[in-house]
Amino acid sequence: DPACAAPLPVLGREVTVPLVTGGEVTYAALDYAASAPALQRVWDDVAAYAPYYGSVHRGAGYLSQLSTDLFENSRRTVAEFLGCRPGDQVVFTRSTTDSLNLLAAVVPAECEVFVFETEHHASLLPWRDARVTYLNAPRTPGEAVATLERALAGRGSEGPALVCVTGASNVTGELWPVRELAAAAHAGGARIVLDAAQLAPHHPVDIAELDVDWVAFSGHKLYAPFGSGVLAGRADWLQDAEPYLAGGGASRKVARRADGGVDVDWHTTAARHEAGSPNVIGVYAIASACKALTDAGFEALVAREQRLVARVREGLAGVPEVKVLSLFGEDAPRVGVLSFVVEGWNSSHFAAALSAEYGIGVRDGLFCAHPLVRTLLDSDPQEPGECGAPEAEPGERSLNAIRVSFGAGTPDEHVDRFVRAVRELVTDGARWNYRTEDGRCVP
Ligand code: PMP
């Protein structure tokens, strides 16, 4: 039974943390949506390669050649992992944020961009120089498709257009109808980029099968926390635009002109947007993670994770003070990401209690998706710091939320400890008085 498969080995399982109540406990990392732990296999691959590290695309020596091969083979591995079509490019970036900013920098002039207000800020904000239309939060997947269809039908021009949409919400974990949105985008004369930051670690993402034009994701959420990300997809807009970064590696030929200026012949491959010495370790780590997930098999990974999702859902359903946040309905399909508020609790204090009393690491706040969390909480919280939690007085209604998230490395015990902790905190209260000091929750 694939649902009974063991979790994949990850780093950090043995880390112990002190409890305010005395003693220590192994850390339960339940914040995969922010950053997932490194797979042991990724760590092993990186460690095995590190002594052979050399400059990529720049050296004649053996180790430079080896590193260059490894870098370009990693590109092929990622292309395979994503089911890229012939002609698609895989550009290595720093992160999803970087990938989407790169795409925003290469969209043709006069491009219209359509983005739901429910997106992570990385998907919401890079388009401010374009003609961007923000679409209202849909309350069903079908409404998302209908909203997009309407918006595209109402376009004033036949010019280029782009839709940017998430595959799985970083707040609710809910799956978005990517295939249907891609069909609607194309029928409406637009292209579509998939923010797969939260989808790729949990589900197979096949660019051809989903029929999306580009996919973006981050290594650190895919068990490869070494500072690299990916933008993969259609080559034309990438090839036609000015390089995202100007510098060495992006140019084929640079020459002084008679008038004293400089002429540049830029690469038309992915290298066009990868100027500077690339992060070969980060890229190799991503390729290693892609292979590890493929070898483990998404069928088994999804089955096991869904069993954990059901366990959390059932556990929280037994606590009436807990309200799980959702756009599409509490039972909508979701990855291992779930946000909630607890009646009578400040979410920051609740998260602090989970950490200090149970050794459980979750996240509280607005999760860099302020408009979405505001919609879900049906409130207008005070201005928070970027990605931060707005302050509520003790006892006041929660203005932010708590997010629990997990994945391929999560043992059952972490999820069970979390459910038990929520029950105990709600029933017995915190054993400590959590106060805010300089915006931080401390015991
Ligand atoms: N999109 C989504 C859906 C995310 O969850 C995140 C990270 N929380 C990002 C984009 C940005 O990813 P990164 O911070 O790695 O750039």
Give 359-405 as a 3 state SS string: CEECEEECCCCHHHHHHHHCCCCCCCCCCCCCCCCCCCCCCCEEEEE
Tell which atom from ligand 1 comes closest to the C-alpha of 34: 8
Mean pLDDT across the chain: 92
pLDDT band at residue 121 using 50, 70 and 90 as cut-offs: very high
For the question of residue 368 being annotated catalytic, the response is: yes
Q: How far apart are CA 284 and CA 286, in angstroms?
A: 5
Token pair in block for residue 317: 């359903």
Element (H, E) at 17: strand 16-18
Q: Ligand 1 centre from 98 Cα, in Å?
A: 10
Tell me what the mean pLDDT of segment 246-268 comes to: 95
State the DSSP string of 18-44: E-TTSSEEE-EE-BTTT-PPPBHHHHH
Sign of the alpha-carbon dihedral angle for 421, 425, 430, 436: positive
Residue with tokens 């540049």: 264
Q: 442 in helix, strand or coil?
A: strand
CATH 3.40.640.10 for domain 42-295, yes or no, is yes
> pTM above 0.90?
yes
Q: What is d(CA 165, CA 167) in angstroms, rounded to the nearest whole number?
A: 7
Check residue 4 and give its pLDDT. 72
Instruction: Give the C-alpha separation, 126 to 132, whole Å.
Output: 10
Q: What percent of the chain has pLDDT over 90?
A: 83
Whether pLDDT at 389 is above 90:
no
Q: What is the pLDDT of residues 228-255, one digit of tens each?
A: 999 999 999 999 999 999 999 999 999 9
CA atoms of 360 and 30, how far apart (whole Å): 7
Q: How far is CA 120 from CA 67, 114, 191, 228, in A?
A: 34, 14, 19, 19
How many angstroms does the Cα of residue 82 sit away from the middle of ligand 1?
18
Confidence of residue 438 (pLDDT cuts 50, 70, 90): low
Which of 72-81, 195-204, 324-333 has the weakest average pLDDT? Answer: 324-333
Q: Which is catalytic among the residues 84, 164, 290, 368? A: 368
pLDDT at position 380 over 70 = no
Whole-number pLDDT of residue 442: 56
Question: What count of Cα atoms within 13 Å lies in the side-chain half-sphere of residue 324?
Answer: 23
CB 245 within 8 A of CB 275: yes
Q: Which of 198, 205, 372 to mutate to test the pocket of ligand 1 (most atoms within 8 A of CB)?
A: 198
Ligand 1: which of 31, 93, 97, 372 to mutate, judged by most atoms within 8 Å of the beta carbon?
Answer: 97
Distance CA 423, CA 435 (A): 21
- Whether the pLDDT of residue 278 is over 50: the answer is yes
Report how far residue 16's alpha carbon sits from residue 137's, in angstroms, rounded to the nearest whole number.
41
For residue range 157-166, what is the model confidence (pLDDT) as tens digits?
Answer: 889 999 999 9
Task: For residue 185, count other CB atoms closer than 10 A to its CB.
Answer: 26
Q: What is the pLDDT of residue 117?
A: 96
331-363: pLDDT as tens digits: 899 999 999 999 988 898 899 999 999 999 999
Are the beta carbons of 165 and 176 closer than 8 angstroms?
yes
Mean of pLDDT values over 298-325: 96
Is residue 193 pLDDT above 90, yes or no? yes
Instruction: Tell me, in angstroms, the distance from the centre of ligand 1 to residue 64's CA.
Output: 32
Check whether 390 has a pLDDT greater than 60. Answer: no
- Sequence-distant (6+) residues with CB within 8 A of 322 are 316, 340, 341, 342, 343, 422, 426
Q: Do residues 128 and 116 touch, judged by C-beta distance below 8 A?
A: no
ipTM of the predicted structure?
Answer: 0.99
- Using the predicted structure, report yes or no on whether residue 384 has a pLDDT greater than 60: no
Residue 440 predicted with pLDDT over 90? no
Residues of the chain with CATH 3.40.640.10: 42-295
Structure confidence at residue 334 (pLDDT): 97
**pLDDT given for residue 441 in this prediction:** 52
Instruction: Give 235's DSSP letter.
Output: S
- 121 Cα to the center of ligand 1, angstroms: 8
Residue 436's H or E segment, with its range, is strand 435-437
Angle subtended by helix axes 298-317 and 280-296, to nearest 10: 80
Fold annotation for 2-30+297-442? Aspartate Aminotransferase, domain 1 (3.90.1150)
CA gap 103, 11 in Å, rounded: 33
Token digits for 360? 């459980």
DSSP letter at 87 equals T
CATH 3.90.1150.10 segments of the chain: 2-30+297-442
**Is residue 219 predicted with pLDDT exceeding 80?**
yes
Find the residues whose C-beta lies inside 6 A of ligand 1: 33, 95-97, 120, 122-123, 166, 170, 195, 197-198, 218, 220, 368
Q: Residue 38 has which token pair?
A: 């490194």
Q: In what order do the strands lie in the sheet with 401-405?
A: 322-324, 337-342, 401-405, 363-365
Q: 127 with 164: CB under 8 angstroms?
A: yes
